[in-house]
Structure 1
Amino acid sequence: MKQLMLYGLVCGLLLGCAGNRARTLDPAVQAAQEKAAAEKAVLEKKIETNMAIDPNFIPFQKLSPKLDDIGKGQLLRLLPRLKASKAIVVRGYCYRGDIGNAKAASQARAVEVKDFMTKAGIPENHITVRFDTGRKLHGVQLHYK
C-alpha cells in the first residue's frame, strides 16, 4: 500500500512539474526563439539560393573583405568536397572600377576564405591563393580537383 501511495505521489509531482513548465514559458523568450528560427530560415534560404546559382562562388559585399554568415554556410556545405580535393585554387575578386585598392581587397577576400578552410581542417599546402581585379565581381571563386 505504501508503494502505491509513493508511486501516486511521484506521478503527481512529475505531472505538476511538467504542467508548470508549459505555463511558465515567458512570452519574451518565446518571441525571441521564434525570431531566431525565422532568421535562421532566411539565412538557409539565402545559402540555398547561392548554392543553386553557383556553389563554388562565394559572394562578398562590395566594400567588405569579411566572410559573412551566408558565405560561411556555403563553405560548410562544400567542406566534404573540399577536404577530398588534392588542390584548391581560391581566387579573390574585387573590381578595380568600384574600389580604390581592389588588389588588396581581392587578396584579403581570398585569404579570408583560405583561413576559414584551414581552420576547418583542410591542409594549407593544398590551397593556392590568387586574385583578379579586372572582372566586375565581388567574391571568391573556388576551383578544386
Structure 2
Amino acid sequence: MTIGQLCCVKKRILSMKYSGLLLSASVLLAVGVMSGCATDQAAQVENASATSWVKQPVSVTIALGKPYTLQFDKMAAKLTPQQEEILTSLALQMKDAKSIILRGYCNKRDIGNAKDSALARAVNVQKFLVSQGIADQKMSLRYNTDDAEHAVELELGN
C-alpha cells in the first residue's frame, strides 16, 4: 500500500467512527426523548384519572334583559344532564328575577310541527325550573319557528 492509499483508508475509518458516534448519539437522544414522553403521558393519564370524578362547578349568569340560550339537537325536546346542571346554577338568580321569558325555538324548515316542538322545549325548561323552586307565575312561554335555531332562550326581567 502506498502512503496515499493509507491516508484514504485512515480518512474512511475516521469518517466511519464519526458517523457511528453521531448515530449512537442520535439513538440515545431519541430514546431519551421517547422515554420522557412516555413518562409525561403516564403522569398525565394518572393525574387525569385521579381527578376525573371531580365535577367542575358550572358558573353561568344572565344579565337582566339579555337572553341566555340553551341549544338543543334538531329532534330533541328533552333536557340533557348538562342543560339541567346549567339551569340549576341559574336557579338562585332566577328566583330573584321578577319575570322570566322562556322562548322555544324550532326551525319550521327542519321540522313539520315546529310550533309544538318549540313549545315542548320551553315547557320542559319551565317544568325543570319549577322543580328547582322557581314560581310558575313569573314565567311566560313564547315560541319562534322562523329562525334557524333549535334552542330555548331564557330572559330575565326586573
Smaller-chain TM-score bracket: 0.5 to 0.7
CA distance in 1 between counterparts of 2:155 and 2:118 reads: 16
User: What is the number of equivalent residue pairs in this alignment?
Assistant: 105
Q: Deviations over 1:79-110 (max 9, x none)?
A: 11111001000000010111111110000000
User: Contact conserved, 1:55 with 1:74, CA < 8 A, in 2?
Assistant: no
1:96 match: 108
In structure 2, the partner of 1:124 is 136
1:56 to 65, 68, 84: 68
Aligned counterpart, 2:153: 141
What is the percent sequence identity of the aligned residues? 32
SS of corresponding position for 1:75: helix
TM-score by length of 2: 0.59
Rg larger in structure:
2
Quick check: 1:82–1:88 contact (8 Å CA) kept in 2?
A: yes
SS of match in other structure, 1:67: coil
Deviations 1:44-102 (A, max 9, x none): 59x67xx59x9811111110110111111111111111110010000000101111111
Shift of the alpha carbon at 1:38?
3.9
Q: Residue 118 of structure 2 aligns to which amino acid in structure 1? A: S
Q: TM-score, normalised by structure 1?
A: 0.64
* CA deviations over 1:13-68 (Å, ceiling 9, x no partner): xxxxxxxxxxxxxxxxxxxxx5xx74875xx59x67xx59x981111111011011
CA RMSD of aligned residues (A): 2.5
Q: Provide the C-alpha distance between the structure 2 equivalents of 1:39 and 1:118, rounded to a whole number of angstroms.
A: 29
Q: Letter of the 1:128 partner, please give it.
A: S
Cα gap change, 1:62 to 1:71, in 2 (>3 Å): same
Residues 102 and 39 of structure 1, relative CA distance in 2, 3 Å threshold: farther
Match for 2:95: what amino acid? K
Residues 80 and 111 (structure 1), Cα distance of their counterparts in 2 relative to 1, 3 Å cut: same
Higher helix share: 1
Superposed structure 1 runs of 4+ greater than 3 Å apart: 37-41
Whichever residue aligns with residue 89 of structure 1, its letter is I
